[in-house]
């Protein structure tokens, strides 16, 4: 069905045809024709953010909590440059985004026009792909292709840069082609021979462990289901990266908790001592591996990933399998069942005994206080009081993020939104806006530190305007806690620029926006205050005054291996040497 | 063919590479990358190398299929086997890339480079330059009473050798195309 229409109208039409119901954006001169078309229809809701970076993070929150691509619309020049952080964040965490940016008209490109920037040049390294659309007739094809590229294979952000004259001109619209018509078709099925070899290794493994990541969640609900089935059937322990939390339920009895730099002792020890590591949709990030030459020295390693470049990038693996997690897990289960559901049950029982020993260390133990709220306690109470609710959690970046990952438990995928790869302070608040927009009835909580939260605090305006009852649970230690912790451990307790002075009165700040502010400093009041936050029908800023000098443990210090974890303040003396200090 | 569709045993891919990938020795490889000739595609390839800290020893690019709008980029790069495999996988990830071939490991191949070499001077040196050019089968494409421009085609080390010989004879300027390479035999 070919129809004549303007480029601006094509954009709205293509979004509708791609099933988009919500976009996050900020208008400006170079996108006015598109905003005109948005004004003239009711199918697509536009959420006006207060800063373009927030539009991208909101779209990420929307995408991570729904499994659908997030869409953002920004103007040329500063609109596009403000989008760069969100694009990079989405690239590193493999989040499907379609970002539309306005551009000066084609005849002005290269003249340093008002609000002109080389947007495709600037965003080339931080998108999965991008296009400058020079002809209106190319626009529908590229719009549809953008959705295909963003969502196929390893998902990621794409950007279309659309000059204003292309938006005004008329061309022929085409409906979305079938997905199979595109040349870009990443391999979904894993190699069966290789899968059979993996199953043979699994059958005889004495100390297997599943190490899963965000790829399981990106692969869709079937992947999480198949993972659960495989783990239950084989009885092998499972740990996950920060990005993969929720794929396997935290209440499952095979669950070891998160691994990595601030992961659980039992998870990291299992990784170090295993004889078969099955990496599913994770990428051996440096937060996970610690010192690579001492990483899991005794194991054969399986790596299932849809992105060939992830394989052998950091850690050499013995069984590489390129394919979509759900497809590969399905075949693994089939092959394992067909070969007689064999496992070394005796070996496995011994392995679990060893793991249970590590669990006895109780690595998340902290010294509680009845005088001051410990951040861990605040999160334990938040978990206890919201458990079982229709709950979505976003976070900012820092100590609070790690504590949230340790103390909050996720039973389902898509419930946990955090900036893992890029570690973007300021991610959580706008992400919570995007999540709430996608799930209007759900309880959406952003676990934040006061420093991160201030980076995108302008989004209070968005939350109020769209009546998005997001709860901003700020663990306020008046410090850049993670920076302060590293300065304490690595830089001779010289706390250079790591404390926040002149913090706002968060309760008054909330009230200034017309929202509710709650402050809590006494552990005895905490439960009531959290319930007040949950029960309030509207955005809340919860200023939780916590212990200022709490450190986040356990911790693998930089340059150390998994079995050299620090378990508490007593173990930190001289733990990190100068060669570790140069690492981030 | 889809660049990401990987056959087992294919060397254009890190995962199923049959060579051990953990050696420490730095190797030189010639990669042929078939791409859609669209705006910015060369910038994507070059940006990948600079952004991830890989080396480019030589790079040539031209459209080789005018109807299908495909260009062939020939890149000579250096790195450990692990790095080379990573480069190939990263190249394969670029959306307009159709195919990545490692000519160094995928069987015998021919590599050629063209150079234009200006030698200025007179007297005996001028005669000697002409004599050496003849040995190297370099063609004279421009001549004045005080200079020659030689055209020389060959493997890069042949051009290096010729340039070295010309240096004492008055080499004043050199332009090289970079390596173009093809696998030998059918297809």
Q: What is the ipTM of this complex?
A: 0.91
Task: Say if residue A447 is in the same domain as residue A309.
Answer: no
Task: Say if residue B159 is in the same domain as residue B127.
Answer: yes
Q: How does A190-219 read in b/e, with b if 16+ C-beta sit within 10 Å?
A: bbeebbbbbbebbbebebbbbbbbbbbbbb
Task: Say if residue A118 is in the same domain as residue A143.
Answer: yes
Classify residue A571: in a domain, yes or no: no
Gap between the Cα atoms of B160 and B154, Å rounded: 10
The residue written with tokens 């976009």 in the block is A23
**Annotation says A13 is catalytic:** no
Classify residue B2: in a domain, yes or no: no
The partner residue sitting opposite A309, judged by closest CB among B2, B22, B86, is B86
pLDDT score for B129: 97
**Annotation says A482 is catalytic:** yes
Gap between the Cα atoms of A393 and A445, Å rounded: 5
Locate all alpha helices (DSSP H) within A251-374, ordered by sequence: 265-273, 286-289, 325-338, 345-359
Q: Which of these three, B102, B128, B154, is where a domain ends?
A: B102
CATH assignment at residue A227? 3.40.50.1220
- Top-confidence residue, A282 or B19: A282
The pLDDT confidence band at residue A423, using thresholds 50, 70 and 90, is very high
Which is the catalytic residue, given A24, A37, A52, A437? A52
Average pLDDT over all residues of chain A: 96
Q: Read off the pLDDT of residues A274-306 as tens digits, 9 standing for 90 and up.
A: 999 999 999 999 999 988 999 999 999 999 999
Our count of domains for chain A comes to: 3
Gap between the Cα atoms of A503 and A577, Å rounded: 34
Gap between the Cα atoms of A536 and A510, Å rounded: 13
Strand-pairing partners, residue B72, are B34, B62
Task: Say if residue A137 is in the same domain as residue A224.
Answer: no
The pLDDT confidence band at residue B12, using thresholds 50, 70 and 90, is very low
Which residues in chain A are closer than 8 Å to B24, comparing Cβ atoms?
A: none
Which residues in chain A are closer than 8 Å to B15, comparing Cβ atoms?
A: 308, 311-312, 320-322
| Of A366, A369, A431, residue with least CA distance to A399 | A366
Q: Which of these three, B54, B70, B102, is where a domain ends?
A: B102
pLDDT score for B117: 98
Q: Read off the pLDDT of residues B28-85 as tens digits, 9 standing for 90 and up.
A: 999 999 999 999 999 999 999 999 999 999 999 999 999 999 999 999 999 999 999 9
Task: Say if residue A13 is in the same domain as residue A151.
Answer: yes
| pLDDT tops 60 at residue A577 | yes
Tell me how long chain B is. 187
Asked if A47 contacts A72 with a C-beta cutoff of 8 angstroms, the reply is no
* Mean pLDDT value of segment A475-489: 96
Q: Under 8 Å CB-to-CB from A502, ≥6 apart: which residues? A: none
What A573-576 contacts at long range (C-beta under 8 Å, 24+ apart), as own/partner pairs, is A575/A489, A576/A489, A576/A490
Task: Say if residue A61 is in the same domain as residue A104.
Answer: yes
pLDDT score for A286: 93
8 Å CB contact of B21 and A312 = yes
| pLDDT tops 50 at residue B164 | yes
Give the number of beta-carbon pairs within 8 Å between A and B: 70
Classify residue B142: in a domain, yes or no: yes
Task: Say if residue B98 is in the same domain as residue B117.
Answer: no
Gap between the Cα atoms of A69 and A78, Å rounded: 24
Classify residue A558: in a domain, yes or no: no
Classify residue B131: in a domain, yes or no: yes
| pLDDT tops 80 at residue B3 | no
pLDDT score for B5: 40
The pLDDT confidence band at residue B91, using thresholds 50, 70 and 90, is very high
Classify residue B83: in a domain, yes or no: yes
Task: Say if residue A260 is in the same domain as residue A333.
Answer: yes
Mutation pick from A88, A124, A322 vs chain B, by most beta carbons of B within 10 Å, is A322
* Mean pLDDT value of segment A334-339: 98
pLDDT score for A266: 97
Strand pairing category for B27-36 and A516-520: unpaired
* Mean pLDDT value of segment A38-42: 98
Angle between helices A52-66 and A84-93 (to 10 degrees): 20
Strand-pairing partners, residue A124, are none
Q: How far is CA A342 from CA A177, A234, A305, in A?
A: 45, 8, 25
Task: Say if residue A164 is in the same domain as residue A211.
Answer: no
Task: Say if residue A283 is in the same domain as residue A305.
Answer: yes
* Mean pLDDT value of segment A336-361: 97
Which residues in chain A are closer than 8 Å to B50, comparing Cβ atoms?
A: none
Angle between helices A52-66 and A428-438 (to 10 degrees): 50
pLDDT score for B6: 40
* Mean pLDDT value of segment A163-167: 98
Classify residue A518: in a domain, yes or no: yes
The pLDDT confidence band at residue B9, using thresholds 50, 70 and 90, is very low
| pLDDT tops 60 at residue A35 | yes
Task: Say if residue B134 is in the same domain as residue B177.
Answer: yes
Task: Say if residue A157 is in the same domain as residue A268.
Answer: no
Q: Read off the pLDDT of residues A214-272 as tens digits, 9 standing for 90 and up.
A: 999 999 999 999 999 999 999 999 999 999 999 999 999 999 999 999 999 999 999 99
CATH assignment at residue A514? 3.40.50.970
CATH assignment at residue B34? 3.30.70.260
Q: Which of these three, B102, B120, B137, is where a domain ends?
A: B102
In three-state secondary structure terms, A283 is coil
Q: Which of these three, A147, A181, A215, is where a domain ends?
A: A181
Strand-pairing partners, residue A321, are A304
Asked if A312 contacts B15 with a C-beta cutoff of 8 angstroms, the reply is yes
The pLDDT confidence band at residue A570, using thresholds 50, 70 and 90, is low
8 Å CB contact of B14 and A193 = no
Asked if A206 contacts A199 with a C-beta cutoff of 8 angstroms, the reply is no
Residue range of the domain that includes A402: 375-552
Task: Say if residue B98 is in the same domain as residue B119.
Answer: no
Percent of chain A with pLDDT over 70: 97
Gap between the Cα atoms of B97 and B44, Å rounded: 10
Classify residue A369: in a domain, yes or no: no
Classify residue B4: in a domain, yes or no: no
Strand pairing category for B97-102 and B27-36: antiparallel
CB-based contact, B43 to chain A, within 8 Å: yes
Classify residue B62: in a domain, yes or no: yes
Task: Say if residue B123 is in the same domain as residue B94.
Answer: no
Classify residue B13: in a domain, yes or no: no
pLDDT score for A89: 98
DSSP state of A566: B
Task: Say if residue A205 is in the same domain as residue A134.
Answer: no
CATH assignment at residue B154? 3.30.70.1150
The pLDDT confidence band at residue B22, using thresholds 50, 70 and 90, is low
Classify residue A89: in a domain, yes or no: yes
Q: Which of these three, A146, A161, A181, is where a domain ends?
A: A181
Mutation pick from B12, B95, B102 vs chain A, by most beta carbons of A within 10 Å, is B95
8 Å CB contact of B15 and A312 = yes
Q: Read off the pLDDT of residues A121-135 as tens digits, 9 standing for 90 and up.
A: 999 999 999 999 999
**Annotation says A194 is catalytic:** no
Classify residue A367: in a domain, yes or no: no
Classify residue A572: in a domain, yes or no: no
**Annotation says A243 is catalytic:** no
Q: Under 8 Å CB-to-CB from B60, ≥6 apart: which residues? A: B73, B74, B177, B178, B179, B180
Q: Read off the pLDDT of residues A183-198 as tens digits, 9 standing for 90 and up.
A: 999 999 999 999 999 9
Mutation pick from B88, B93, B94, B99 vs chain A, by most beta carbons of A within 10 Å, is B93
pLDDT score for A569: 74
Nearest-CA residue of chain B relative to A306? B4
Our count of domains for chain B comes to: 2
Task: Say if residue B31 is in the same domain as residue B71.
Answer: yes
Asked if B43 contacts B132 with a C-beta cutoff of 8 angstroms, the reply is no
Percent of chain A with pLDDT over 90: 95
Task: Say if residue A130 is in the same domain as residue A229.
Answer: no
Task: Say if residue B98 is in the same domain as residue B125.
Answer: no
pLDDT score for A1: 54
Which is the catalytic residue, given A9, A164, A254, A374? A164
pLDDT score for A578: 65
Task: Say if residue A173 is in the same domain as residue A210.
Answer: no
Classify residue B6: in a domain, yes or no: no
* Mean pLDDT value of segment A200-212: 98
- Top-confidence residue, A212 or B5: A212
The pLDDT confidence band at residue B137, using thresholds 50, 70 and 90, is very high
Residue range of the domain that includes B55: 27-102
């Amino acid at each position: 069905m070919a129809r004549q229409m303007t480029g601006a109208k094509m954009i709205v039409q293509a979004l509708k045809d791609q099933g988009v119901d919500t976009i996050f954006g900020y208008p400006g001169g170079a996108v006015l024709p598109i905003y005109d078309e948005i004004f003239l229809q009711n199918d697509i809701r536009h959420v006006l953010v207060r800063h373009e970076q927030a539009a991208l993070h909101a779209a990420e929150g929307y995408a991570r909590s729904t499994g659908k691509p997030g869409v953002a619309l920004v103007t040329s020049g500063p609109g596009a440059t403000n989008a760069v952080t969100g694009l990079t964040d989405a690239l590193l965490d493999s989040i499907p985004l379609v970002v539309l940016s306005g551009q000066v008209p084609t005849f002005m490109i290269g003249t340093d026009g008002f609000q002109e920037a080389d947007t495709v040049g600037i965003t080339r390294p931080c998108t999965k792909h991008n296009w400058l659309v020079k002809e209106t007739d190319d626009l529908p094809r590229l719009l549809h292709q953008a959705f295909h590229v963003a969502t196929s294979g390893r998902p990621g952000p794409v950007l279309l840069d659309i000059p204003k004259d292309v938006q005004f001109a008329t061309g022929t619209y085409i409906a979305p082609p079938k997905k199979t018509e595109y040349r870009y078709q990443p391999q979904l099925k894993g190699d069966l021979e290789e899968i059979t070899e993996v199953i043979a290794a699994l059958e005889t493994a004495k100390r297997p462990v599943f190490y899963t990541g965000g790829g399981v969640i990106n692969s869709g609900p079937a992947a999480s289901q198949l993972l659960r089935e495989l783990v239950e059937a084989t009885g092998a322990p499972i740990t996950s990266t920060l990005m993969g939390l929720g794929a396997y339920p935290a209440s499952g009895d095979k669950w070891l908790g998160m691994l990595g730099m601030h992961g659980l002792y039992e998870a990291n020890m299992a990784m170090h001592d295993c004889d078969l590591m099955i990496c599913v949709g994770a990428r051996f990030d440096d937060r996970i591996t610690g010192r690579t030459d001492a990483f899991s020295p005794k194991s054969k390693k399986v790596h299932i990933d849809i992105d060939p470049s992830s394989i052998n990038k950091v850690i050499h693996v013995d069984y590489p399998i390129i394919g979509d997690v759900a497809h590969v897990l399905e075949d693994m289960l089939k092959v394992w069942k067909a070969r007689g559901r064999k496992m070394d049950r005796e070996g496995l029982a011994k392995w679990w005994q060893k793991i249970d020993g590590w669990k006895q260390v109780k690595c998340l133990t902290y010294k509680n206080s009845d005088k001051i709220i410990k951040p861990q306690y605040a999160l334990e109470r938040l978990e206890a009081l919201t458990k079982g609710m229709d709950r979505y959690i976003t976070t900012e970046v820092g100590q609070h993020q790690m504590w949230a990952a340790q103390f909050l438990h996720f039973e389902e995928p898509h419930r946990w939104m955090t900036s893992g790869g890029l570690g973007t302070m300021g991610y959580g608040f706008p992400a919570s806006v995007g999540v709430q927009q996608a799930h209007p009835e759900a309880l959406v909580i952003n676990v934040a530190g006061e420093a991160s939260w201030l980076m995108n605090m302008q989004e209070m305006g968005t939350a109020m305007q769209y009546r998005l009852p997001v709860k901003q649970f700020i663990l306020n230690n008046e410090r850049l806690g993670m920076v302060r912790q590293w300065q304490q451990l690595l830089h001779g307790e010289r706390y250079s620029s790591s404390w926040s002075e002149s913090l706002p009165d968060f309760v008054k700040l909330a009230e200034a926006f017309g929202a509710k502010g709650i402050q809590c400093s006494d552990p005895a009041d905490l439960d009531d205050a959290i319930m007040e936050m949950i029960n309030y029908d509207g955005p809340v800023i919860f200023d939780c005054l916590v212990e200022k000098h709490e450190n986040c443990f356990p911790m693998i210090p930089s340059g150390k291996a998994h079995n050299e974890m620090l378990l508490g303040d007593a173990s930190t003396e001289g733990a990190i040497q100068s060669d570790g200090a140069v690492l981030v | 063919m889809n660049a990401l569709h990987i056959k087992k045993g294919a060397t254009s891919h890190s995962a199923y590479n049959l060579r051990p990938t953990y050696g420490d020795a730095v190797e030189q490889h010639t990669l042929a990358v078939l791409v859609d000739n669209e705006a910015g595609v060369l910038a994507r390839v070059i940006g990948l190398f600079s952004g991830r800290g890989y080396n480019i020893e030589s790079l040539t690019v031209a459209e080789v299929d005018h109807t299908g709008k495909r260009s062939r980029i020939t890149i000579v790069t250096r790195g450990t086997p692990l790095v080379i495999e990573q480069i190939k996988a990263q190249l394969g990830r670029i959306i307009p890339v159709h195919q990545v071939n490692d000519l160094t490991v995928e069987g015998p191949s021919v590599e050629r480079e063209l150079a234009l070499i200006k030698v200025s001077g007179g007297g005996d040196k001028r005669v000697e330059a002409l004599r050496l050019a003849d040995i190297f089968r370099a063609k004279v494409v421009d001549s004045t009473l005080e200079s020659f421009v030689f055209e020389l085609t060959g493997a890069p080390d042949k051009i290096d050798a010729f340039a070295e010989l010309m240096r004492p004879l008055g080499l004043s300027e050199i332009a090289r195309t970079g390596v173009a390479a093809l696998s030998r035999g059918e297809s």
